[in-house]
Amino acid sequence: MDLIKSILITLLIFVLLGGGLFYIGKKQEIEKANANLVKAKDEFGKKKYKNALVLLKYEPSKEHLEDYYLLKLKTLIELENFYQAEEVSKKLLEINDKNHFYYYLISLIHGYNWDYEKTEQALKKAIELQPENLSYKMRLARVYSNGNKTQQALDLYKNIRETDSRYQIAWAEAATVLENNKNFDESLKLRKASAEKFPDHLSSQYKLAALYEKLKNKKQAVGYYKKAAQLDKHRVSDAIEKIENLTNEKYHYIVNTKTQRIPLTIIDNLMIIKAKADNFEGNFLIDTGASLSVIYERFLKKSNIHVYYDKYGVLEMANGSTEYAPVAYFDFKIGQKKFNDSRVYILTDTKTINFDGIIGSDILKDLDYYIDQEKECIVINY
């Protein structure tokens, strides 16, 4: 009997010891997974997506699970592994099914798979959770258009224009939908309204000219191609060629040669200039690689600017990551050149920034300038 007791006690000790070792091993595995999540975020920021995915092999502790699955989802999307991404998205929604941005990411997965129905469903859910987000509505309008749901697309584009008439792309894309459906009268109305509302926008003038050309209205086509040519500082369009083909004459126009030099501060190869946003001066990074402009919260605080955030958008960062940020409109002034109602994203401050915002290509495309690095200045032509 004593022998049996001894055996049972020994077995119990082994079980407890094994359980303890398992607990210790599991705890160490979770701690390692937590540390790997931090490393994976860093690798993702460096666009080393395969490295990030390897580091995301094991789940971290419960409080980090949402971050873990979100990063894994974004990593799989970047690697175009959409089947696994869809499976991971289900895990993410189990944790939090009230986050509109997650449904937006899911819409990207289905969009890449050309599944319009599931893409539409995901975007509708994102909009239901964040009804003021015009970026989501723009994407849904495009899905409607591509899925031959013409009227739904037009209704949504109209909703976007009525919500914020400065959304130029909503005017342009709706006109294209109408044009593709041979509704030239309504398309022309929108093209004309867009050209009038956005007189400094090259695409608005050019597309109206192209529609007039299609409608055999040579005089109007030439007139708007000329407006496009005047706006086309960097010769990205064939507006001049179009004019010459329609008139059978060489086209010449006078370029204003008035210039202004604005000093540059170059820090670690970054070009910083002084510019104004809503008449408040700040230090702004000139970044031709950034498609959209940004203002950091530090600028709002020091300038005592209060912005009511009623619109949000998705911002693709230079490091490949995706940020969901509020949108605001500012009047920018670079030298003597003014840009009214410029759409910018508001980002939180980071330890690494030492400037107030970023002026991206969305503003720079309408600025005739060049960088004189030898004299450390930006030269603006008027």
Mean pLDDT confidence for 201-226: 95
Q: What whole-number percentage of the chain has pLDDT above 70? A: 88
Q: Is residue 274 over pLDDT 70?
A: yes
Mean pLDDT confidence for 308-328: 68
pLDDT value of position 178? 96
Contact 303, 280 (CB under 8 A): yes
Least confident range of 8-12, 101-105, 182-186, 375-379: 8-12
pLDDT value of position 38? 87
Mean pLDDT confidence for 246-275: 83
CA distances from 267 to 92, 121, 333 (A): 41, 47, 22
The closest alpha carbon to 122, from 138, 135, 110, 114, belongs to 110
pLDDT, tens digit, for every residue of 155-190? 999 999 998 888 888 999 999 999 999 999 999 999
- Mean pLDDT, the chain, rounded, equals 86
The Cα–Cα gap between 77 and 96 comes to 19
Q: Is residue 3 over pLDDT 80?
A: no
Q: Is the dihedral of CA 339, 344, 347, 352 positive or negative?
A: negative
CA distances from 129 to 53, 174, 269 (A): 29, 25, 42
**For the chain, domain boundaries:** 14-97, 165-253, 259-381
Amino acid symbol at 132: E
The b-or-e profile of 292-331 (16+ CB within 10 A means b, else e) is bbbbbebbbeebeeebeeebbbbbeeeeeebebbebbebe
pLDDT value of position 113? 86
pLDDT value of position 379? 87
Give 342-362 as a 3 state SS string: EEEEEECCCCCCCCCEEECHH
The closest alpha carbon to 161, from 185, 134, 131, 180, belongs to 134
pLDDT, tens digit, for every residue of 24-68? 556 777 888 888 888 888 888 888 899 999 998 888 988 889 989
Helix (H) / strand (E) element for 14: namely helix 2-45
CATH of domain 165-253: 1.25.40.10
Token output for 300: 């709002």
Token output for 301: 């605080």
pLDDT value of position 41? 87
Q: What is the CA radius of gyration of the chain?
A: 28
Q: Is residue 22 over pLDDT 70?
A: no
Least confident range of 10-24, 74-88, 177-191, 355-369: 10-24
Is domain 259-381 given the CATH code 3.30.200.20 in the classification? no
| Residue whose pair of structure tokens reads 């603006």 in the numeric block | 380
Q: What's 241's DSSP letter?
A: H
Token output for 262: 């604005």
Contact 157, 167 (CB under 8 A): no
Mean pLDDT confidence for 66-85: 90
pLDDT band per the 50, 70, 90 thresholds, residue 21 = very low
Q: What whole-number percentage of the chain has pLDDT above 90? A: 45
pLDDT, tens digit, for every residue of 227-254? 999 888 777 889 999 999 999 998 877 6
Q: Is residue 19 over pLDDT 60?
A: no
